[in-house]
Chain A
Amino acid sequence: MQLTLPPRMSPQQFDAAVKALQGAVGAGWVMTTDQDRDAYADIYAPGPETLWGASGAVAPSSVEEIQAVVRIANEHKLPLWTIARGKNLGYGTAAPRMPGSMVLDLGRMDKILELDPELGYCVIEPGVGFLDLYERIQREKVPLILSVPGNGWGSVLGNALDHGIGYTPYGVHAKNLCGMEVVLGTGEVVRTGLGAMTKNHAWHMFPFNYGPSWDQMFTQSNLGIVTKAGMWLMPEPDSSLELNLDIPEAEDIGWVVDTLTPLKLGGIIDQSIFIPSWLGKMVILGQRKDFWDKPGAIPDWRVAELLKEHKLGYWKVQIRVYGDENVNKAKAEVIKAAFKKHIATPMEEVWWRRGDPTNVMDTTLGVPSAVPLQMGDWVGGKSAHMGFSPVVPATSKHVLDQMKRSRKIISDHDVDFYASFTISGRFANNVNMLMYDRDKPEQVEAIKKLFNALIADAAANGYAEYRTHLGWMDSIADTFDFNDHAMRRMTEKVKDVLDPNGILSPGKQGIWPSAYADQRGKALA
Chain B
Amino acid sequence: MKGARTGLVTLSLALALTGCKVVDTGDKAQADGAPAGPPPPPPHQMRAEMAAGDRLHTTMSGEDLFSNRCGACHLDWGMGTNLITKQQVALGRPPSMGLLTNRDDLTADYVKSVVRMGKNAMPRQTRVDVTDAELDKIAAYLGKGK
Instruction: List residues of A whose CB falls within 8 A of some B CB.
Output: 26, 28-29, 31, 35-36, 38-41, 43, 57, 59, 86, 89, 93-94, 105, 107-108, 129, 131, 134-135, 138-139, 152-153, 284-287, 290-291, 305, 309-311, 348, 350, 357-361, 367-371, 373-374, 376-377, 381-383
Contact B43 A286 (CB under 8 A): no
Known: A39-B125, A359-B23. A138 touches B46 (CB 8 A): yes
Q: Nearest-CB distance from B14 to chain A (Å)?
A: 11
Q: Nearest-CB distance from B70 to chain A (Å)?
A: 11
Interchain CA distance A129-B50 in the complex, whole Å: 13
Residues in A whose Cβ lies below 8 Å from that of B56: 26, 28-29
Contact B41 A105 (CB under 8 A): no
Residues in B whose Cβ lies below 8 Å from that of A373: 79, 121
Contact A285 B7 (CB under 8 A): yes
Q: Does B73 contact A (CB under 8 A)?
A: yes
Residues in A whose Cβ lies below 8 Å from that of B129: 39, 107
Residues in B whose Cβ lies below 8 Å from that of A381: 120
Contact A377 B83 (CB under 8 A): yes
Interchain CA distance A290-B2 in the complex, whole Å: 9
Interface size on B, residues (CB 8 A): 51
Interchain CA distance A361-B49 in the complex, whole Å: 22
Interchain CA distance A94-B28 in the complex, whole Å: 41
Q: Does B118 contact A (CB under 8 A)?
A: yes
Which of B4, B82, B127 interacts with A371 by CB under 8 Å? B82
Contact A36 B77 (CB under 8 A): no
Contact B44 A134 (CB under 8 A): yes
Contact B121 A376 (CB under 8 A): yes
Q: Does B126 contact A (CB under 8 A)?
A: yes
Q: Which of B86, B118, B124 has the most CB of A within 10 A?
A: B124
6 additional A-B residue pairs with CB within 8 Å, beyond A38-B117, A135-B46, A138-B44: A31-B127, A311-B33, A350-B25, A359-B25, A360-B45, A373-B121
Residues in A whose Cβ lies below 8 Å from that of B127: 31, 36, 39
Q: B38-52: which residues lie under 8 A (CB-CB) from chain A?
A: 38, 40-47, 49
Interchain CA distance A134-B71 in the complex, whole Å: 13
Interchain CA distance A510-B105 in the complex, whole Å: 48
Residues in A whose Cβ lies below 8 Å from that of B28: 348
Instruction: List residues of B whose CB falls within 8 A of some A CB.
Output: 1, 3-4, 7-8, 11, 23, 25-26, 28-29, 32-35, 37-38, 40-47, 49, 55-56, 71-73, 76-79, 82-83, 86, 116-118, 120-121, 123-129, 131
CB nearest to A41 among chain B residues: B124
Which of B7, B25, B29, B49 interacts with A286 by CB under 8 Å? B7
Contact A370 B128 (CB under 8 A): no
Interchain CA distance A94-B71 in the complex, whole Å: 20
Contact A290 B25 (CB under 8 A): no
Interchain CA distance A139-B40 in the complex, whole Å: 24
Residues in A whose Cβ lies below 8 Å from that of B7: 285-287, 290
Q: Nearest-CB distance from A253 to chain B (Å)?
A: 21
CB nearest to A305 among chain B residues: B1
CB nearest to B130 among chain A residues: A39
Known: A134-B44, A291-B4, A359-B44. A108 touches B29 (CB 8 A): no
CB nearest to B45 among chain A residues: A360
Q: Which of B42, B55, B121, B129 has the most CB of A within 10 A?
A: B121
Q: Nearest-CB distance from A38 to chain B (Å)?
A: 6
CB nearest to A127 among chain B residues: B128
Residues in A whose Cβ lies below 8 Å from that of B45: 360
Contact B118 A360 (CB under 8 A): no
Known: A286-B7, A310-B34. A131 touches B126 (CB 8 A): no
Q: Nearest-CB distance from B86 to chain A (Å)?
A: 8
Contact A38 B120 (CB under 8 A): no
Contact A38 B124 (CB under 8 A): yes
Contact A382 B120 (CB under 8 A): yes
Contact B43 A39 (CB under 8 A): no
Interchain CA distance A287-B127 in the complex, whole Å: 32
Interchain CA distance A213-B25 in the complex, whole Å: 45
Contact B128 A374 (CB under 8 A): no
Interchain CA distance A359-B8 in the complex, whole Å: 21
| Leading 9 A-B pairs by shortest Cβ distance | A311-B34, A290-B7, A286-B7, A107-B128, A39-B126, A359-B41, A39-B124, A28-B56, A370-B79
Known: A131-B72, A286-B11, A360-B42. A36 touches B126 (CB 8 A): yes
CB nearest to A136 among chain B residues: B49
Q: Which of B73, B123, B125 has the most CB of A within 10 A?
A: B123
Q: Nearest-CB distance from A374 to chain B (Å)?
A: 5
CB nearest to B86 among chain A residues: A377
Contact B124 A350 (CB under 8 A): no
Q: Can you spell out 16 A-B residue pairs with CB atoms less than 8 angstroms apart?
A: A38-B116, A43-B118, A105-B128, A107-B129, A138-B46, A139-B49, A285-B7, A285-B38, A309-B1, A309-B35, A311-B29, A311-B34, A358-B44, A360-B44, A368-B44, A377-B83
Contact B121 A360 (CB under 8 A): no
Residues in A whose Cβ lies below 8 Å from that of B118: 43
CB nearest to A59 among chain B residues: B128
Interchain CA distance A129-B37 in the complex, whole Å: 31
Q: Nearest-CB distance from B7 to chain A (Å)?
A: 4
Q: Nearest-CB distance from A129 to chain B (Å)?
A: 8
